Structure 1
Amino acid sequence: MPAALLLAVVGATATGKSDLGIELALALDGEVVNADALQLYRGMDIGTAKVTDAERRGVPHHLLDVLDVTQEASVSAYQREARAVIDAIRGRGRVPIVVGGSGLYVRALLDDIAFPPTDAAVRARLEERIAHEGASALHRELTATDPAAAEHIGPEDARRIVRALEVGEITGGSFRAYLPREQYLDAATIQIGVRRDRAVLHERIARRVHGMVRDGLLEETRALRERGLDRGRTARRAIGYEQALAVLDGAMSCEDAVESTITGTRRLVRKQDTWFRRDRRVRWLDVDAAEDPAALRHAALALADL
């Protein structure tokens, strides 16, 4: 086994990443580093399928429950904190095992990616211009000032146009220089992708959502609302919690909320699947034929050549 091994277990929601990550941590004397953006939030347990203390089986888990629901998750802050956690795990002579399905967070941690600076005043001014002049007008400006970035940003993609112009104004350089590249920061990195047959995955999603309701998702959401969930730009829009808030407000029936959550989760799964399949470095593990945890662990270790 490489002395500085960094193992990542990635893939779509409900594929079984968390369980496999724990199995691998037990086998490799490892510690788990969370790479699910919503599991960063305290109290968002049922709706994110966060592993319980008992389910962790003594394996240390990091970067769970580090944000209040009123705070905004930041991928650049996550990158900084997660890399420090990995250094600390290695300092203890143990193996860091990254587990999660938030693709940008995984890439930010594993790859040689730098995040450009931000300036709230510059961004607000550009957003006001977008509102009055339209995205196409600012895209033409971007084409003149940063043609390399404009080539990769559509003329109607207002958010990225604003970001590219903001970076250009702050740094004097091209936004293109900050776009992600498939280049590991650490050569000893291995990604194991977990996948299931789509029909099986849809069944697991439906079962999970119904189970969340039975386990008290509405009660959890009510408690989070008391802690400011309505003010959280990221947390309140999370699949499951957004629907639960609608139920609490009388705007949606529980049955409709369940169906909406299932549909939204399936949509998320498609996006996650597309993201991770684009990364040719991922070694895929088909778990449909090997449900036994020990068998999955052995299969994953074989894929990683461990």
Structure 2
Amino acid sequence: MSPGAPVLPVVAVVGPTGSGKSELALHLAERFGGEAVNADSMQFYHGMDIGTAKLSMAERRGIPHHLMDFLSVREDTTVAQFQALARSAIADIQARGKLPILVGGSGLYVRAAVDVLEFPGTDPAIRSRLEAELDAGGLTPLAARLARVDPVSAARINDGKRVVRALEVHELTGRPFSSFMPERDYVQPTVQIGLNGDRAQLHERLAGRVHRMVESGLQEEVAALIPEGLREGRTAQKALGYQQFLRVLDGESTVAAASEETITATRQFARRQITWFRADPRVHWLDWAQPDLYDAAGGLVHDAMEAANRAPGLP
């Protein structure tokens, strides 16, 4: 960014899956001259398009979208690695005089991008041992162990990958994982816009979306990703829809059953997302159905841009 150029804040569009985040981000990008930075951890994967509701190139309407399709389904990334990538993308966008718009519902990834947040290191040996315990004995004993050493994290975490990470951090540092989640403090001027709405309507939206995914070829997409290493990827194979339709391809389920299981799992995931983002008092919530949605969101961005450029000490 050239000297004297306006300070451009980070805009984060957050909320549950199916709430319209991608469309709002596109509108804001067109209105304010912005570029999108993906914070949906499953849209990192190349080839996982239908089941993640990834926008096609045509649907992106010429708006650059960063941090999509940079992993194969065999690979994983850490939140710390994403933090470095996201901040680099944001800095590049701002340096070109564009507005960075972070969009996605992966709560910890959003925090990693916008907040002052420290990430402890990793230990492959500890991680492998804990993952082997998870595979052999399931989540219950590991969750019980976490509850003993870090009850704060245990109350927040309910999936195997994150329980393993929390236990790894405790073994590695002697500190509870929750101690690495400090007070909410933006690393630079930021405005978070949250989308939410009627719960019954959200349930209908999510069911309709899953059915459209199935009709659009979700099962065929899953089948095509198996030779690419979908079964070997610890994260990608567990994505909503993909794990259910892997069982269809294995003859262990039917399309109808997998669809309903995906709908149920997606609704549960949306509920967890709402809980996560509701805990952040800095999020400005808008109803996706309100007639003035775009104007309201645009007003929040306009105010954030003015605030970022206000001289210190002025009201």
User: Structure 1 residue 127: deviation in Å?
Assistant: 7.4
One of 169, 173, 176 as aligned partner of 1:168 = 173
Separation (CA, whole Å) in 1 of partners of 2:220 and 2:130? 41
Spell out, residue by residue over 1:85-136, the C-alpha distance to the aligned partner (whole angstroms, 9 max, x if none). 000001101000000000010011111001101112244567789999x767
The alignment yields a C-alpha RMSD, in angstroms, of 2.7
Separation (CA, whole Å) in 1 of partners of 2:205 and 2:145? 46
User: Structure 1 residue 26: deviation in Å?
Assistant: 0.3
- Which letter does structure 2 place at the counterpart of 1:119? D
The range that moved more, 226-235 or 154-163, is: 154-163
The number of equivalent residue pairs is 289
Spell out, residue by residue over 1:61-104, the C-alpha distance to the aligned partner (whole angstroms, 9 max, x if none). 00000000001131111100010000000110100000000001
One of 168, 180, 183 as aligned partner of 1:181 = 183
CA contact (8 A) 2:73 2:229 kept: yes
Spell out, residue by residue over 1:27-62, the C-alpha distance to the aligned partner (whole angstroms, 9 max, x if none). 010000000000000000000000111111110000
Instruction: Tell me the TM-score normalized by structure 1.
Output: 0.86
Counterpart residue number, 2:34: 30
Structure 2 vs 1, CA of residues 251 and 282 (structure 1 numbering), >3 Å: closer, same or farther?
same
| Equivalences for residues 112-127 of structure 1 within 5 A | 112-124=116-128
| Equivalences for residues 1-306 of structure 1 within 5 A | 3-124=7-128, 150=150, 152-154=152-154, 159=164, 162-168=167-173, 175=177, 177-186=179-188, 188-290=189-291, 295-306=292-303
Separation (CA, whole Å) in 2 of partners of 1:137 and 1:44? 34
SS in 1 for 2:237: helix
Separation (CA, whole Å) in 2 of partners of 1:229 and 1:207? 25
User: Structure 1 residue 165: deviation in Å?
Assistant: 2.8
Separation (CA, whole Å) in 1 of partners of 2:133 and 2:257? 39
- Which letter does structure 2 place at the counterpart of 1:298? D
Spell out, residue by residue over 1:226-273, the C-alpha distance to the aligned partner (whole angstroms, 9 max, x if none). 111000111101111111111111111111111111001000000000
Separation (CA, whole Å) in 2 of partners of 1:174 and 1:61? 35
CA contact (8 A) 1:168 1:175 kept: no
Counterpart residue number, 1:146: none
Unaligned runs of 5+ in 2: 304-315
Unaligned runs of 5+ in 1: 143-149
CA contact (8 A) 1:35 1:100 kept: yes
Instruction: Tell me the TM-score normalized by structure 2.
Output: 0.84
Structure 2 vs 1, CA of residues 26 and 129 (structure 1 numbering), >3 Å: closer, same or farther?
closer
Separation (CA, whole Å) in 2 of partners of 1:268 and 1:3? 35
Separation (CA, whole Å) in 1 of partners of 2:133 and 2:73? 31
SS in 1 for 2:152: coil
CA contact (8 A) 2:191 2:300 kept: no
- Which letter does structure 1 place at the counterpart of 2:125? A
Counterpart residue number, 1:147: none
Counterpart residue number, 2:312: none
Structure 2 vs 1, CA of residues 99 and 139 (structure 1 numbering), >3 Å: closer, same or farther?
closer
User: Structure 1 residue 4: deviation in Å?
Assistant: 2.3
Separation (CA, whole Å) in 2 of partners of 1:129 and 1:205? 34
Separation (CA, whole Å) in 1 of partners of 2:145 and 2:217? 49
